Amino acid sequence: MENKECSIIISDFLDYLSGIKGASEKTIKEYRIDLIGFFNFIIKKRMNLKIRHQEMDLETLKKVSISDMYAYVRYIDKERLNAHNARARKISSLRTFYTYLTDKIKVIDKNIASELETPKIPKRNPIYLDLEESKKVLSTLEPDKKFYTRDYCIISMFLNCALRLSELVSINIEDIDWVNNSLSIIGKGNKERIIYLNEMVLNSIKNYLKDRNKYRIKESFKNALFISSVGQRISNRAVEEMVKKHVKNSSIDKKITPHKLRHTSATLMFKYGKVDIRTLQKVLGHENISTTQIYTHVDDEGIKNAFNSNPLNL
């Protein structure tokens, strides 16, 4: 869906997020869906207007009250049955949208969305692979398969470099600095960071590149590092399915996604590499350190060791 299919207000906001804030396509899509849903609720459920969401104008938007917003939150909870995370995201979308309207383009006097409270999200034990499981996934890849070196390289990079899925699929060959053994990554917010490649990753890339040259790569994708079976840059979906397949083949009973492999990498760095949280924040490309803290969970073994390491434990 293009921005032109939205109201002018939403379209301008999405252009601001993309052009000024450097938001990703995925983020833009989420904001679009959230705001169209909100507009439809206001039009149909609260104001009973005979217009489409594309026709929502500024004067109508100015009539939205905090009571309307509370009704919307109740609607997505009780009628749409949105989970905590989905409700929190939609409220965040409204806050950002109204901040744009009040502080950036100054077309509305009061940011009523700032009064909305974000629902508390229940804490769950994070899913990730431990060290032995990580080794097992890599060891169960079959060398005689056509895409063995590519898949091994991708999983190795997830487990060693803590990359986001979007970051991995967008890597170009020219992003690799063979002199400094590093990789230039463009992450969230269009921000660049440098990833240093260890020997395992360097070897896996070199082995893959030997096979990559045998692929029938389409001309427009010659610079893409990871190539699909049809000669194009590999897609997010293809990587997700590949990871799912290899984890299943390793008989590990966990729902592991590329993001969970990123989580695994951060956990292994923190647990075995003695990496402090500030360094880990830079490695992961987090703007807020509170986001990084999610990756620094301590397992039962760590808790037990903490008690046993008390200096009074003589």
DSSP character string of 100-145 = IIIIIS--SS--GGGGPPPPPPPP-PPP---HHHHHHHHHTS-TTS
∠ Cα 118 285 270 (to 5°) = 95
Does 261 map to a domain?
Answer: yes
**Domain boundary pick from 60, 85, 115:** 115
**Domain boundary pick from 82, 115, 148:** 115
Considering the domain architecture, whether residues 170 and 268 belong to the same structural domain is answered as yes
Determine the Cα–Cα distance for residues 95 and 100; give it in Å rounded to an integer: 9
Considering the domain architecture, whether residues 137 and 279 belong to the same structural domain is answered as yes
Q: What is the CATH number of the domain that holds 286?
A: 1.10.443.10
Determine the Cα–Cα distance for residues 35 and 72; give it in Å rounded to an integer: 11
The catalytic residues are 164, 188, 259, 262, 286, 295
Number of domains in the chain: 2
Does 309 map to a domain?
Answer: no
Q: How confident is the model at residue 1 (pLDDT cuts 50, 70, 90)?
A: very low
Considering the domain architecture, whether residues 104 and 142 belong to the same structural domain is answered as no
Q: How confident is the model at residue 235 (pLDDT cuts 50, 70, 90)?
A: very high
276 secondary structure, DSSP code: -
Using CB atoms within 10 Å of the CB of residue 186, give its burial: 0 to 12 exposed, 13 to 18 middle, 19+ buried. Answer: middle
Does 124 map to a domain?
Answer: no
pLDDT tens-digit profile of 117-166?
887 777 666 789 999 999 999 999 999 999 999 999 999 999 999 999 99
Q: How confident is the model at residue 211 (pLDDT cuts 50, 70, 90)?
A: very high
Please state the pTM of the whole predicted model: 0.72
Give the pair of three-digit tokens for residue 81: 């049955």
224 secondary structure, DSSP code: B
Does 123 map to a domain?
Answer: no
Does 305 map to a domain?
Answer: no
Considering the domain architecture, whether residues 154 and 260 belong to the same structural domain is answered as yes
Considering the domain architecture, whether residues 282 and 227 belong to the same structural domain is answered as yes
What are φ and ψ of residue 138, in 5° steps?
Answer: -65, -40
Domain range for 148 is 131-300
Considering the domain architecture, whether residues 156 and 62 belong to the same structural domain is answered as no
Query: For residue 302, is pLDDT > 50?
Result: yes
pLDDT at 156: 97
Considering the domain architecture, whether residues 107 and 142 belong to the same structural domain is answered as no
